[in-house]
Amino acid sequence: MKALISGASIAGPALAYWLHRYGWDVTVVEKAAAVRAGGYPIDVRGTALDVLDRMGVLPQVRAAHIDTRRLTFMTPDGRTAGRISAEQLTGGVEGRDLELPRGRLTTILFDAIRDDVNWIFNNSIAAIDDHGDGVTVTFTNRTGEGDTTEFDLVIGADGLHSNTRRLVFGPEEQFNRYLGYCFAGFTIPNDLGLAHEGLTWSAPGRMAAIYAPGCTDTLHGFLMTSRPQPPLAELGDVEAQRALMAGVFGGDGWLIPKLLDGMRAADDVFFDVTSQIHMPVWSRGRVVLAGDAAHAPSFFSGQGTSIALVGAYMLATELATATDPTAAFAAYEQKTRDFVRMNQALAGSGGTTLAPATNRALWIRNNVLLKLAPLLAPTGLLGRAGRKAATGITLPPVKSMDVPAPL
């Protein structure tokens, strides 16, 4: 059976791995020129670690662990409000939960399946025609097989602003739940001598951070501000993004001027809105969505990568022996949706902790929660719900494929 996966970040390569293992002929299309390196550090927790273990890549992921040892929170006037460990923030398990650069994880996943599936880079889907017994896909650029290619099903794993979702389900606006912030991430030289730590500055409605992912010559800069409406006009305009952040943070002290200068000079600025995706169904006909395309939780939850890995495993497991793709899609959604809901719900506490919206909320975070953090270590500032959500699903066993089933 032939499957097309759109997207080569986290969910896409994980799905490619499992579908190939189950005997599928897999093609992955990615609009970028290659698997994307770099990116802000991401977390892998709970059940997602079991997925990586079953893929045989957990030792490589563990070797890439950043081991953040300290998070320092700053007051609006640049004084230190408190210091905590990463585990005291998230409730993570030291020595088990992992943090690594996003690009390192995507590379590990890509390398695990590099020679076993078909990769189409610098391309994307232009049209999808689901005709009941298959899907005709038209690519933006010619693929060498003509203007169109036939697949048995299509999986959209192409992120928050999914092209696949737009083509099949309609405009993003009907599924996007805006959480009130926009942000910019970029890299700057590490001339501060930071290692294995993060510094976070907050004022009501805005937050800035400098993060040292291990001991490297590069730091990750981060600026975030509240906006009553999502700044959609800035999404495709880097100069407008720089101007927006300069207008918001231009009068602030601490290391903010250094971050604004760094953003002006950076060639890797990533700008987006904090949003979740909520859909009544994740599939239509022979097209199904996975990862952020189906259920983005926002980085406030800290669980986007983990639920993408788990969702990919659950979807591939249902497709492994399916005779009807629509039944497999329905079973995947039925078994995974509660897990997704629990993890999406974490965004509320994550946003309150990382970006307090009012002076009162900021005072409580700095003067109460940070001082209680050592006592809350088993659950972290994000609460018991975080640990429960991260482990809130039981993986079915890997399917035996002695007798592959027709679809």
| pLDDT for 214 beyond 50 | yes
| pLDDT for 237 beyond 50 | yes
The Cα 396–Cα 142 span in angstroms is: 39
| pLDDT for 405 beyond 50 | no
On the CB side of 373, CA atoms within 13 Å amount to: 26
Rounded to 10 deg, the angle between the 325-344 and 304-320 helix axes is: 160
Most confident range (mean pLDDT) of 317-321, 353-357, 388-392 is: 317-321
* Residue 160 CA: distances (Å) to CA of 50, 171, 365: 25, 12, 29
| pLDDT for 25 beyond 80 | yes
Considering the entire predicted model, what is its pTM?
A: 0.92
pLDDT at position 406, please? Answer: 45
pLDDT at position 55, please? Answer: 98
The Cα 51–Cα 45 span in angstroms is: 10
| pLDDT for 380 beyond 50 | yes
Exposed (0-12), middle (13-18) or buried (19+): which is 402, by Cβ within 10 Å? exposed
pLDDT, average across residues 43-66: 96
Share of the chain above pLDDT 70, in %: 92
pLDDT at position 373, please? Answer: 67
Share of the chain above pLDDT 90, in %: 73
pLDDT at position 388, please? Answer: 85
Q: Which two tokens stand for residue 125?
A: 């889907």
pLDDT at position 372, please? Answer: 73
pLDDT, average across residues 344-368: 83
pLDDT at position 153, please? Answer: 97
The Cα 186–Cα 198 span in angstroms is: 15
* Residue 186 CA: distances (Å) to CA of 245, 299, 381, 383: 13, 16, 26, 29
